[in-house]
Amino acid sequence: MKKTNEILILGSIGLDTIETQYGKRENLLGGSATYATIASGIFSSAVPVGIIGDDFPKDGYDIFSKFSKNINNIKIEKGKTFRWGGKYHKNGDDRDTLFTDLGVFENFDPIINEKDANASWVFLANIHPALQMNVLKQCSKNPIVISDTMNLWINTTPNELKSLINKTNILLINESEIIELTQLSELKKAARMIMSMGPEKIIVKQGSKGAQCFSKDDELSVSVYPVSKVVDPTGAGDVFGGGFVSGLAEGLSLYDSMRRGTALASFCIEDFGVNRLLDITRDELDHRINSIK
Ligand code: AMP
């Protein structure tokens, strides 16, 4: 079947309250689908899937309209938008979740428009694995599935997560999460164990150390673009994922898609929330991509 470049992106859409050593911001546009859609939408036609409450701000709506192919699969429901609060430790990497209010996400039962369910690429960004599976089941054209997750689901819904991993082609996962999931500290062994569960490739995101891709016969690593001030790391993984998928959908190699994701993530962390992602120029992006090896 011929692959098109259409990408469906599922994840959270929310309002974040974030505290880092550079300050505190409340009700920032956030959520895994938000970061991924903006990153992907810079290049390709991303179709986000999610739910928002009737308190969702207009500027958030405008951003989605700008970066998405269509927003027909974002449901607006009476009630409160998903909210998450996090506070980063002094080291800038580790963080504590202060609150998670699911709001309208609690009873979200997505129904994907028939046309959009034809997408050739599906990025299941971090959200409850049952919801990821629900959306995947509606995808009618045997898409390439890229999934992300978080430690919460490894701990609370391991069986649902394993079913999802089984249907995934490329799993994106943080270093600490893959160790937790497999109980193996050697990444190569851990990746092999996950590949035996279904995926052909595992991409381990290692924060300031870059990212590594493991597949049956190959290993690939990509460095980071060093930024002088990490103001807010929130969403970097989702931006990596959105940029990475957009590269694959355009026909870029795995390596170049990883470099694109990495370069975009370097912009994300330079300011709070999605701010820095909204006005990236093509020149500055190309400069960063080219300097990543
Ligand atoms: P990351 O920094 O890549 O882990 O992504 C942070 C984003 O994930 C924030 O914008 C949050 O709104 C969102 N988030 C936090 N907790 C959850 C959760 N349990 N499910 C879905 N999204 C979440």
What local confidence, expressed as pLDDT, does residue 255 receive? 97
Residue 153, domain member (yes or no): yes
The owner of tokens 């308190």 is 55
Residue 113, domain member (yes or no): yes
Distance CA 276, CA 22 (A): 15
The CATH number of residue 87's host domain is 3.40.1190.20
pLDDT tens digits along 73-125: 999 999 999 999 999 998 877 899 999 999 999 999 999 999 999 999 999 99
Q: Which residue's alpha carbon is at the smallest distance from atom 14 of ligand 1? A: 31
Which DSSP string do the residues of 166-186 spell out, in sequence order? HT-SEEEEEHHHHHHHHS--S
Residue 72, domain member (yes or no): yes
Of 217, 194, 211, whose CA–CA distance to 261 is shortest? 211
Number of domains in the chain: 1
Which one has a higher pLDDT value, 92 or 229? 229
Residue 154 Cα, ligand 1 centroid: separation in angstroms? 14
Of 161, 117, 118, 162, whose CA–CA distance to 135 is shortest? 117
Residue 235, domain member (yes or no): yes
Average pLDDT over residues 263-284: 97
Residue 1, domain member (yes or no): no
Other CB atoms within a 10 A radius of the CB of residue 114 amount to 9
Residue 216 Cα, ligand 1 centroid: separation in angstroms? 30
Q: Which residue's alpha carbon is at the smallest distance from atom 11 of ligand 1? A: 31
Domain range for residue 160? 6-291
Above 70 in pLDDT, residue 203? yes
pLDDT tens digits along 7-41: 999 999 999 999 999 999 999 999 999 999 999 99
Residue 48, domain member (yes or no): yes
What local confidence, expressed as pLDDT, does residue 2 receive? 54
Residue 32 Cα, ligand 1 centroid: separation in angstroms? 5
